Amino acid sequence: MMPYDSYRLYQAERAKSSAEIRHADEQAGRLASAASGLFRGITRPARAVRRPYPAAARSGACYREPAGRRGRMAETMEGS
């Protein structure tokens, strides 16, 4: 165990006030926001290239199960 691990263990186990919890939540939120911004910046060019048909995404088409699987499922349900 490293010397600073005992202090980290103490900090993790002790009871924290609501202000400390709120501050930790704010820090976690800022970190997540920064990571998300970096990720969006990296993936934005790939998303622009990947969307050749924007109308298909807006059509509201939902996932359909393949007809072959659908038929077998119906047979299974009827047999029981």
- Using one digit for the tens of pLDDT, what is the confidence trace for 10-51? 888 999 999 999 999 999 999 999 999 999 988 887 777 776
**Residue-level pLDDT at 12:** 87
- What is the residue type of 5? D
In degrees to the nearest 10, what's the CA dihedral of 56, 57, 60, 64? 80
Report field, pTM of the whole predicted structure over 0.85: no
**Tokens standing for 30?**
């800022």
For position 33, what pLDDT does the model report? 95
Which residues, including other chains, have CB under 8 Å from residue 3's CB and lie 6 or more apart? none
